[in-house]
Every structure is written in C-alpha cells, then in structure tokens.
Structure 1
Amino acid sequence: MANQGEEKQVLLYLMGPFLLSSDRGDLHTPTGQKTQALIALLAVAPRGRRSRAWLKDKLWSDRSPPQASASLRQALHEAKKALSKLSCDILTADKQNISLNLESVWIDIHHPESFLESGDQDPQAHQFLEGIDIQDPEFEDWLTNERRVWTTKMEEFMAQESGRRKTGSSNDASTERGAETSGRTAASAAGAGSSTSQHIAIGLLPPIVPNQSPELTTLADLIVESVARNLGEVHPIDIYDYRDTGMEAFGVPIGTGPDLVLRIRVKSAGSDLYLSLLAYNVANQKLIWSYTIHADQEDALQFDTLTISGFINQNVDRLANSFFTHSLDTFSKLPSNYKTGYTALNYIFRLDEKYLTAAESLLTESYDNDPQSNYLGLLAYISSFNIGENLGEFTDAKRLATIGHASEALEVDPFNSITLACIGHVHGFVFRDFETAADLHAQAVELNPHQAFAWDHFALFNIYTGRYQEALKAAHRACYLGSFSPLRYSFDTTVCMAATLCGEYPTAVRYGNRALSRQPRFGAAMRYLIASHGHLGNVAEAQQHISRLRTISPDFDLPFVRENGLAIAENEGLQRMIEGYEKAGL
C-alpha cells in the first residue's frame, strides 16, 4: 500500500475483518458490529451517500420506525466518534441522508493492487466483511450479494495480473499462444452464434497437454465438456468446438462466434498433475481468469473423483458468476433472456413470494419464446416452495399445471440432470410418488455425477424415504461440489437435515448455522436446527429459532409435526424430530 498515507489520513479495510486505522497504523475500529456495518454500507454506496430510510431498512428492518431511528442515531454517534479521531468532517448527516467523504478515505476494495504488494494474492483468502454477524435478513441479503461481487472482482484482477506477468504484453501473448489459424469452420452445437441466438456461446479450445499424452488429452477433454454441460443445465448455451481445428484463443472470430473460450492446461511432475482452466474474453482477447488445482495423476484419471468434480463445479460457478451477474462489461450488454435460468433460480431461492411469482412469470414467458426443458423443470419445481416454505398458494389449478410442466419437461429433454432433479423432487416431495422420484433422481446423478444440485436433491429424496446415512453421504458430496455456489446455503441445510436424522447433532448445528448465516429466512434449516438443539439441551438457542420460524410459518407446532408436516416417511426419523422438539419446549 505504498504512499497511500501521504494522500489520505483514513484507511478502511473491508476485505477480511472490518478495520479502520490512521495512515500511521493507529487502530480506530468501532466495537459495535452495526456501527461497522453502517460505515461499510456508506463506503460502497454511490458517492458514499445513503438515505436514513435505506440504512434503517438494511440494519433494523425488524424494528418499529421509532426504534429503528433511535438505533441509527446511536450507531451514527459511535461511527462519528471513531472517525472524528481521524478527520473532523469525514462523516456528515442531515435529516434525510448520511454521507461518507470518499475522497478522504483509502478503501482496500478500490485498490486491489495492495494485495499484490502485501503478497496476499489469493482472492479466496479474505471474505468481504469477514466475521460480521448482523441478525437482519435485509442486511444478510445485501452482504451475500456484495461478497459475491467483490470476490469476483478480486479474482478477475488477480487473473489479469497473472496473465500480464506470464505474457508480458498483448503482443507477446499473441506470439506465445501461437499465430492465428484458419480454423473458423467449427460449428455451434446449437447451430447459431451469440449474435443470432438467445444463448451465450462458449468455445472449446484444444487442450495444452505434455507430450500430447492420449490419457491426459482425454482427461482434459472430459473436464472442459463437463464444465460446459454443467453451465448449460441451468440456462442453455451454444457450444463451438474448436478442439480438432488447432484453433488458438486469438484465432476465434469476433462477433459471429463465441463470447468466451475455454482451454484446459495440464502439467505433470512425476505422479502429480496440475490442472488449469483458462477462460478468455473473445471480444478483447484478454484472459478473464485461470484456476489451477493439484491432483494425484492416478486419482485424476479416474475422472469421477471428488477432486475432479470439485474442480469442474468451481469453474462452473465462476463462469456463471461472470456471465449472469454482469461482472464483466462484455456480458453486461447481453439481453436479459440470455440468463433466464440463472435469474429464475436466484429468484426462487430468495424465499420471497413476490420473487417466486416473478420467477414463474419469467420462466413462462421465456419458454414461449425459447422452448427449453430447463424452464419447464424450474416451473414445476416452484411448487415445492409453495408447500415446503409456505410461499404462495398451491391450488388445484397449480397442481394440474405442475403435472403438465413436469411431464412436458421430460419430453423436451430427458437428459438434463437439473431438470431430472427438479422433477424428481416434485414427484417425491409434492406428490409423494416415491417410485417415480427414485428413478428420476438415480438418472440425474448417473447422467451427471458432477452436478451439486442433482446430488443435493438425491440426498433430500433419501431423507424423505428414510435412508438417512445415504442421504448424509450424498448431502456432503453436494456441499463439497457446491462450495462456491450461490445455492450453497441450501446444500448446507440438507446436511443439517440428514445429520439430525442420523443423530449427529453437532454436525447438524454447524451446517444449519452456516445455512442461516447466508439465508436467514430458510425455514427448513430452522426446523431441523430446533430439533438438534433440543437433543443437545440447547433450549435457549432452540427457542430463538422457534420464534424466528413462526414469523414465516405461524402454524408450526407439535400437532403439525405429528401430522407429518415435515414429509418424513419413516416413523423412527419422525419420532426423533418430535423428541427433539419436545426437549426444545415446542
């Protein structure tokens, strides 16, 4: 952070634990977490300015207006007290707004080069506002989004710096990767490029493999194909396969071909392999990011191991984030219908009735314009949230529509593992047709053993049918594969559920707390946490979750559970839950 203190007296660190200091290194971090959160909210705000109403909604959404106003005044007083020791006019307020003078503050997220100077070059090493715990759902939603945004920006910066160091300059890079080839005849699997279809297009480049090893070439091909497949199972993409043409990154046509190209690089050292996935933006011919893992060669060549599956999923989540959260300028210009599947899935898992309705409308309209099984599968899947999370009504008409969506989705494409998992969940959880559900879930994980979503729903099915150990094993696999997924709180919840039913209560509490830290309104996590806390004798913690759960499920009580409101088919598991609730004081 060279010379930063010569210009600005106040240093604010948001990546990692919140820290406020002077340019001389004197710490002035306020002790209150809501005071820290207030400063952070202003630090990332446009022009450093937010209305009082907006801030109250983010930090005290569950309080009455007078209480929220009083709490904001107290937090503002503490923030001014901390900042006044550094600069007299850095924080100002009037009747409507509160402002932070950004010109007087050095903020680490706006200076990613500082991480290079400090030697800490791993974007995953620090989390945005690490350790902050504000028990407010509106703040948690904001925090989840900000963490995703800033982690992605750090990853992109580090990847660009890495590419710059390796290539020296754009001209050197062009020489190193090879001259342009004439391999422009590769066809899109969907028959159309990004300029004419409603899908993002991805190109697959020949892998870089030592000594052109057939075994390692096959491994590289399988990995890049799985990355493309996983990405396309939520929202359809067009694939340009250049692997047999000798095409290089800078030989890909701009404007009429793919938006992005992928390449696998393999390096070997004895029995060790180093696998890298490189992603290039075709429009500006820049390396967007690269990601490398170390693996045992014999283990990696098995392909369906957790190491390779994890590598595939992490790259898929990074790609999806780049495409569908508009973190790259190239993709921010794409029409909204290029990301329907991801937008709808995000809406569904926000656990809000208005977003669920918006997802339904978006999917219906998109299917009319672009018939895809993904959209129908998600339309049917929404019914499980109508029932399981008490969001909206599940009427007779909705029931018939769900049956129709499920049937038609399988006719359109019976080979999409996410669609199969969605429809399997509908048959098992909503319609209690376990025989059909068993077939669909088995097909989903067999067709794509690298899909976290499929393993998570396979685990849920085993929970509902009483196979708890199998459920816990599948849930842990989903959690590992989806460790960077925006849906990971749902995967954590499934581990919590299975662990509770297996009697592994400390594990259940750990994963349940993780889930609620990311999605505080997830009723499923609360229901199983209450039972586990009851069995562990943590009555106070259980009562807190009971109070929170009843704000979204007012009818949650023992009679509801005894009538099998939890959809547990096996009596021993149901009795375990009831005993936990009784010990918790439900």
Structure 2
Amino acid sequence: MIALLALSPEMQRPRRWIEDKLWSTFGPEQASANLRQALSKLRRALGDQGDILRADRGSVSLDRARVQVDVLEAGFCIDDGHDLLEGLDVRDPEFEDWLRAERSRFEARTEAARPGMPRGLLMHCRTDTYGMGAGRVLGDILANRIGENIAEQVRAWRRAGRPVEAGDEDRGDLEITCDLLETEGGLNAFIKVLHEPSGRILYSKLQEIDSADAVIRSDEGISAVIFEAADRVLGRLPLAMDNARPEARATALARLALYRMFTFQPEALREADSLLCQAIDVDRNGIYTAWRSLVRTMQMIELLEPDGQALNEEAQELNRVALELAGDNPLVQAVVSQVRVMSFADAAGGIDLADQSVERNPAGGFGWLALSGARMLGGDPREALAASTRARAIARYSPFKHWWDLYHCIVSVACNQPQMAIEAGESAARSAPALRPAQRHLLALYALDGQIDKARAVAEKLSKIEPGFSLDRFINDDSYPVRTLRTKGMLDPIRGLL
C-alpha cells in the first residue's frame, strides 16, 4: 500500500482503486474490510509517525510534506540487474499489472536521463562548380576548413564521398556546401551549412573570392567567413539537435560558458567554470578543459579570488590535461598558449603552441590572437601587432569580438601606438560596456591624449562597475591589473585627475 501511494500522483488514491489493486478477487465488502484492517496495521507499525498516513471515506494518502520518495528524485538509479520494488510479492493480478507498468516507466525515465557516449557529429563537406573546371578544389578547401573550425569546439567527424540523398538512413548531422560560380565579374562562393535531419539552414552567405590564392592561403577575408560560419553554426547547433545527444548538451553548455566568461565579471566567471565542468561531465573534450584554464587566468589577472597561487596551480594542471586530451586541436593549442603567456610569462612555450595553431588552422581567430600575445612577450612588437591585426579582422563578426578588440588595445599600447589603442579600446567598450579592462586602458589613454573630460567620465564609470576602484590604487598599486600601461610609463598623466 505504501508503494501504491508513494508512486501515485499527489501520493493519493481513491479507496476503491487501492482495493482493486490489492484485493481484486474479493467482493466489495470483504475488500473494504481488508483495507481498514491494513490501514490500522500500518498506523501501528509507523508508531509516532502514524499520522503521515491519512484516510477518509473516499481516499487514502500520504503527507507529501513529510514523505520523501528516493526513486522519484533526479539522477536516482538502481544497480544493474535489479528491478524497481524488487522482492515485493503481492499475489494479485491487478497489482502485478500495476507493478510492470511502473517498472517500465522507471526504466524509460532512467534511460532517458543516462548520458549517452558522445559519438561525434557527422559532417558531410561537398562542393559543386558552375562554369568552371579545376576550381572545384577551392570549394572543397572552403567546406573542409569550415568543418575543421567546427570540429575544434565540438566532437565531430568530416565525411568524404558521395552526396547524401534525401531519406538516406546514413545521412549525417551537418552538410557543409560551398558551391562556386564563375561569372564575368569573377568568382563567387555560395556557402551553406544545413542540419540534415531537420533541413534547417544554420548558416548561408554569398562570398566573393578575389583569387584562388586567397582561398589556398586563407587570406583575411576568406578566414573571416570561415570563422564566422563555424561560429554561427556552433551557436545554433544546440537549438537544431536533439538535446539528448551529448554533443548538443556539451556545445550548449560551453557556448553559454563563453558568453559568461568574456564578461570578466566575478560571478559570471564562476558560473562559466561551473558550466564548463558540466560540459566535461557530458563529453570529456579537451577544449572545455582549456577554456577552464583561461577562466582561471582571467580570475588571477583580475584579482577576483583570494588565493592567486591556487588559481595559478590549477591553471597549470588544466593546461596539462587539455593538451593530454586534445593536444592536436588548434583551438586548444591557442587557448593554452594564451594561458602560458598571460599567467606564466612563458614566451617560448606560448610561441611554440601558437605557431602550431596558426599552421594547422590559418583561419583561426584565437590562434592569431595567441601568437600576438606570445610575440609581444617575446619582444617582437611588430610581429605582435601584425598578428593582432589579422586576428581582429578574422573575428570581426564574433559575438565576443570585444576580446580581440581588448587584446589589440593592449598590444597597441605595448607597441607605442596610443591612437590605435584608443580606437580598439573604444570598440571593445561599445561591444561590452561593463568590460573593466577596456575601461581601464581608455582611462590612461584618454589622460595621455589630453582628453581629460573623457578620462574623468571613464574613472566615474569604473567606480560604479569595479568594487574598490580608486585613482590612487590605479596609479600606485603595483598589483593592479594594468601591467602594460605601467611598464610603458602611461600612468603619470592620470595624476592630474587626483
């Protein structure tokens, strides 16, 4: 009877329903007498808690506020080889029918909640040509590089071979097409990424191609469209795919983590780390671990957590694990390179990984950004500025473009290009008004440029968005996160604001 009530809606059933399940072979009067006797025995057995069992003339129930049912809790599972309510033997056919139905429902719920093994997205990359011959390879290059950029952030496989026909049971998850059209005006590519099971178009764009060399060498314009296509697909993929797929869940969690991470806000960074941990639980992909190491770096540089040494040690361990899991992933190489440069001042290690990243994926915005930081730390400002300029051009359509703008601002400061730094800092602040690092650099740059009113306005904004901010701390606290500005001697003009 406890089982019947505990697994019933609202933990309540009519008396007649219970009688039918336990004494279906008895007459109505005998079944009612058996129920009264059973209720009396149960109350005595429950002792001081006997009042959790409630009964009136029409129904019997349990006090829901005082009863906890383990098998109804999220994540509860029974050891393999065992059944729900195993060993409970009631010699009534109606009860046995009920028990079989409950076991079936429980097994279905458990199976639905059990994470499946990530088998990876299956992407079919293809091209068609119109009015040209040997140019087909250009479309193949474009389609495959988009696929490669997607595969850096979600477990995925590219498939070669015949086009997939409608209704084909062996169709994949994504179809990436780059159809080339040669006209009198030149060469154009129509790029389209399709979610095959649903037919939804996740991305499409008509791109003018200046020359075959632009595709082969992945110039800035081609790289930008490759990077944009992959980024847009990754943003929309969780909405198109079945959420039961580990790849879809992990991608959704990681994507949300990136939005939180690139705010630089303390609580948002903690939330980003939690989301990435959940993504790792779903799919142990090295890129999620690499992102976690970048979160630790941001927390360390921004002085957002009390134990900086612990953050440093954790970032190092996360770097190691990320490379162990996905050391050949260009995005992992880029992120780990940035962490080595920003956290550990390891110029040689950062350059080595960044070089590998851009060689493997010349259309990777993160790779060129990592190379910029590594070159700057390595004492090569000209190369640093060139790499940052390229990275920023590639990522100009990213929802996180303020990350590239901020980095370009810092590199420009290091390269003694204050006007260029102001332009990049203002761009970052427009995209993310609460981005504190951008506002800090603008404060110093405006003061250096004699734009005192703007500098005062930025100082006032920082006092609102950054707890504990003061001009005195900005100038005199060596631990305050404006290392490049301090190294270049750009803080003195701010003293006029004190």
**TM-score, length-normalised on structure 1?**
0.59
Indicate how the Cα distance of structure 1 residues 205 and 446 shifts in structure 2: closer, same or farther if over 3 A, else same: closer
**By how many angstroms is 1:207 displaced?**
0.7
Query: Are the counterparts in 2 of residues 383 and 430 from structure 1 also a CA contact under 8 Å?
Result: no
2:148 aligns with one of 229, 234, 243: 229
Q: Using the alignment, how far apart are the partners of 2:445 and 2:314 within structure 1?
A: 37
Q: Using the alignment, how far apart are the partners of 1:481 and 1:262 within structure 2?
A: 20
Moved more, 225-234 or 293-302: 293-302
Q: Using the alignment, how far apart are the partners of 1:447 and 1:373 within structure 2?
A: 17
1:342 aligns with one of 246, 249, 255: 255
Gaps of 5+ in 2: 1-114
Matching residue of 2:194: 280
Matching residue of 2:451: 538
1:238 equivalent to 2:159? Answer: no
Matching residue of 2:462: 549
Matching residue of 2:29: none
Query: Are the counterparts in 2 of residues 534 and 542 from structure 1 also a CA contact under 8 Å?
Result: yes
1:304 equivalent to 2:218? Answer: yes
Q: Using the alignment, how far apart are the partners of 1:223 and 1:289 within structure 2?
A: 14
1:319 equivalent to 2:227? Answer: no
Moved more, 454-463 or 438-447: 454-463
Indicate how the Cα distance of structure 1 residues 396 and 579 shifts in structure 2: closer, same or farther if over 3 A, else same: closer
**By how many angstroms is 1:274 displaced?**
0.1
Query: Are the counterparts in 1 of residues 297 and 312 from structure 2 also a CA contact under 8 Å?
Result: no
1:290 aligns with one of 188, 199, 204: 204
Indicate how the Cα distance of structure 1 residues 509 and 372 shifts in structure 2: closer, same or farther if over 3 A, else same: same
Moved more, 296-305 or 421-430: 296-305
**Please, what is the CA RMSD of the aligned residues?**
2.8
Q: Using the alignment, how far apart are the partners of 1:524 and 1:298 within structure 2?
A: 40
What is the correspondence of 1:363-442 to structure 2 with a 5 Å cutoff?
Answer: 363-442=276-355
1:515 aligns with one of 403, 421, 428: 428
Gaps of 5+ in 1: 1-194
Indicate how the Cα distance of structure 1 residues 197 and 208 shifts in structure 2: closer, same or farther if over 3 A, else same: farther
Q: Which amino acid aligns with 2:459?
A: I
Query: Are the counterparts in 1 of residues 132 and 182 from structure 2 also a CA contact under 8 Å?
Result: no
What secondary structure does 2:142 align onto? helix
What secondary structure does 1:557 align onto? helix
Q: How many residues align?
A: 378
**TM-score, length-normalised on structure 2?**
0.69
1:203 equivalent to 2:123? Answer: yes
Query: Are the counterparts in 2 of residues 280 and 289 from structure 1 also a CA contact under 8 Å?
Result: yes
Q: Using the alignment, how far apart are the partners of 1:258 and 1:232 within structure 2?
A: 14
Q: Using the alignment, how far apart are the partners of 1:198 and 1:512 within structure 2?
A: 40
Q: Percent identity?
A: 20
Q: Using the alignment, how far apart are the partners of 1:322 and 1:348 within structure 2?
A: 19
**By how many angstroms is 1:212 displaced?**
6.7
**By how many angstroms is 1:374 displaced?**
0.5
* 1:212-234 alpha-carbon deviations (Å, 9 max, x no partner): 734x2222222111111212222
Q: Which amino acid aligns with 2:156?
A: D
Q: Using the alignment, how far apart are the partners of 1:336 and 1:288 within structure 2?
A: 17
Query: Are the counterparts in 2 of residues 271 and 298 from structure 1 also a CA contact under 8 Å?
Result: no
What secondary structure does 2:218 align onto? coil
Q: Which amino acid aligns with 2:129?
A: V
**By how many angstroms is 1:433 displaced?**
2.3
Structure having the higher Rg: 2
Query: Are the counterparts in 1 of residues 331 and 357 from structure 2 also a CA contact under 8 Å?
Result: yes
Matching residue of 1:480: 393
2:178 aligns with one of 255, 264, 269: 264
Query: Are the counterparts in 1 of residues 351 and 374 from structure 2 also a CA contact under 8 Å?
Result: yes
What is the correspondence of 1:26-65 to structure 2 with a 5 Å cutoff?
Answer: none
Q: Using the alignment, how far apart are the partners of 1:305 and 1:573 within structure 2?
A: 35
Query: Are the counterparts in 2 of residues 233 and 416 from structure 1 also a CA contact under 8 Å?
Result: yes
Query: Are the counterparts in 2 of residues 532 and 580 from structure 1 also a CA contact under 8 Å?
Result: no
Indicate how the Cα distance of structure 1 residues 356 and 257 shifts in structure 2: closer, same or farther if over 3 A, else same: farther
Indicate how the Cα distance of structure 1 residues 238 and 211 shifts in structure 2: closer, same or farther if over 3 A, else same: same
Query: Are the counterparts in 1 of residues 202 and 236 from structure 2 also a CA contact under 8 Å?
Result: no
Indicate how the Cα distance of structure 1 residues 295 and 503 shifts in structure 2: closer, same or farther if over 3 A, else same: same
* 1:161-204 alpha-carbon deviations (Å, 9 max, x no partner): xxxxxxxxxxxxxxxxxxxxxxxxxxxxxxxxxx9654762422
**By how many angstroms is 1:309 displaced?**
0.7
Query: Are the counterparts in 1 of residues 410 and 421 from structure 2 also a CA contact under 8 Å?
Result: yes
Q: Which amino acid aligns with 1:201?
A: L
Q: Using the alignment, how far apart are the partners of 1:247 and 1:289 within structure 2?
A: 19
Q: Which amino acid aligns with 1:266?
A: L
Indicate how the Cα distance of structure 1 residues 333 and 515 shifts in structure 2: closer, same or farther if over 3 A, else same: farther
Q: Using the alignment, how far apart are the partners of 1:395 and 1:476 within structure 2?
A: 32
What is the correspondence of 1:435-474 to structure 2 with a 5 Å cutoff?
Answer: 435-474=348-387
